[in-house]
A and B are shown apart, each in its own frame.
Chain A
């Protein structure tokens, strides 16, 4: 018997993602984004994102079905991001998923966006080793997780106490006169720069600090002060060195804490996810440090690191396989869904 075909919906931020997964096999990953409409605001505007989700929903489903070469009537289960995320945005995907599940007469699984970021790696690298440590870093989240059982048990170890890692990239990019979102232009500029040129602070790395929590607010401010001081002195700002040194500080803290979490918990598998996991320096440093520590590093391709529908389908597929009960008919969205709730 073939494994169930799972249709996944993701609308927690500005990406309308619809994906199809069978078992651990990625069949399609259709995406529409409203990013261009948010650029001039320097951040995602929830109402603009929600309007765009509604417009894109049915066409994106059609693309996902066409790419996978299947019919809607072939779908065996529907999965949807129930949170965390922007409420208005989440509700468009949630309502669509509930309607498709009703109309196709298949079970519905409301899932946690963060756990889905972990699950997506199974589409590329096969079943996850359990337990694994997962580090999720994006514009919306920065979390370190212990994952004993992806279908049932995810334990939060640490998270950012101020800005998300991706937000720090956006704000530093703004200081350097780069476009939003800041991740890609900083990564590009940093290639021409020296990551050791400026010693920017590493937040929460003191001996008495929470070992798995992050803080990027101080780093962001330090970069801004450094650049402003240069500008005030009438000196040119070495943009490439600033970008590289900032990026080095982020990658250093993230990888050090992730490796420490693995060591402390006796876990030898680390999974990265989220948009910031697409950063080239973070990937390189994680590889280096994991190799030195004897840890197997798993990083999905950049396309799968950022928000998409396939990751939701991947987690849905995992829940179906594990025999987890589907969601109640009154399933709702929860903008601050706790990370230890995998399926709602």
Chain B
């Protein structure tokens, strides 16, 4: 089965196309990692067209969509999630959401990515790749995390330990989605698809005013 994989949880957007079958390593046919900063919405659909063209397949050949649900900066994160939801809906495909950190690196590790506001997103994994703890958001100085660290090397100094550079990959997203992709209920319509809810980890910035000042004194 061909799977389209998307992620916009970090400043590098990812679109990938892979062949997936149960119990096997995904075979990545095409992948584009675009350093798009805050331009995910502009560049994601062109990147999807790009990987389809690179692999020489049509969207009609794709059997499922996998998307990273973050954690990541909210505005960019939503672009990938809504894109995955809309493509899956328009083509009548199942869509699987996974924690984006699960798709960074492999084996025993602590994944760290930039959460802005001087904080990082983190999750820890056991040797077999299963998530042991997280995802969470924390200031590096306050984090009680142990390495080896992978993800955003910019945090090495503040963590006091090396961070080997790694980003979200197509293979990583498919590995993280494997249990769901292997579930026949995803395809036979017996279970309604779970809505894709981003891993925000933070409440919206909005403090209700405690009292209204008279308009003329402001």
Contacts and interface: CB of A to CB of B under 8 A. Distances in A.
Interface string A198-231: 0000000000000000000000110011001000
B11 to A, nearest CB: 15
A115 B82 CA distance: 26
Interface in A77-106: 87-88, 91-92, 94-96, 98-105
Interface string A316-344: 00000000000001111100000000000
B83 A99 contact: yes
A220 B215 CA distance: 8
Interface in B36-90: 39-46, 48-49, 59, 74-75, 78-87, 89-90
29 contacts: A41-B209, A42-B208, A42-B209, A42-B212, A47-B204, A51-B200, A53-B78, A54-B82, A55-B195, A58-B195, A61-B89, A72-B89, A88-B75, A92-B78, A95-B78, A95-B82, A95-B83, A96-B86, A98-B41, A99-B86, A100-B86, A102-B59, A175-B215, A221-B215, A225-B216, A228-B214, A329-B45, A330-B43, A330-B46
Given A98-B83, A224-B214, A228-B216, A50 B48 contact: no
B206 interface: yes
Interface residues of A, number: 44
A50 B41 CA distance: 14
Interface in A92-124: 92, 94-96, 98-105
Contacts of B44: 95, 98
B201 to A, nearest CB: 13
Given A42-B208, A50-B74, 17 more contacts: A41-B208, A45-B205, A47-B74, A50-B75, A53-B78, A54-B78, A57-B86, A58-B85, A62-B89, A72-B90, A87-B75, A95-B41, A95-B79, A95-B80, A98-B45, A101-B45, A105-B59
A48 interface: yes
A215 B39 CA distance: 35
Given A45-B204, A220-B215, A224-B215, A333 B41 contact: yes
A103 B42 contact: no
B198 interface: yes
Interface of A: 40-42, 45, 47-48, 50-51, 53-55, 57-58, 61-62, 72, 87-88, 91-92, 94-96, 98-105, 171, 174-175, 220-221, 224-225, 228, 329-333
Contacts of A62: 89
